[in-house]
Amino acid sequence: QVQVVESGGGLVQAGGTLRLSCAASVNILRIAAMGWHRQAPGKQRELVATISNGGGADYADSLKGRFAISRDIARNTVYLQMNSLKPEDTAVYYCNAKYRGESYWGQGTQVTVSS
pLDDT tens across the length of the chain (115 residues):
999 999 999 999 999 999 999 999 999 999 999 999 999 999 999 999 999 999 999 999 999 999 999 999 999 999 999 999 999 999 999 999 999 999 999 999 999 999 9
Q: What is the pLDDT of residues 59-89, one digit of tens each?
A: 999 999 999 999 999 999 999 999 999 999 9
The pLDDT of residue 20 = 98
* SS3 state at 29: helix
- The DSSP letter of residue 76 is T
Q: How many helices (H) and strands (E) does the chain have?
A: 0, 11
CB 50 within 8 A of CB 58: yes
CB 69 within 8 A of CB 79: yes
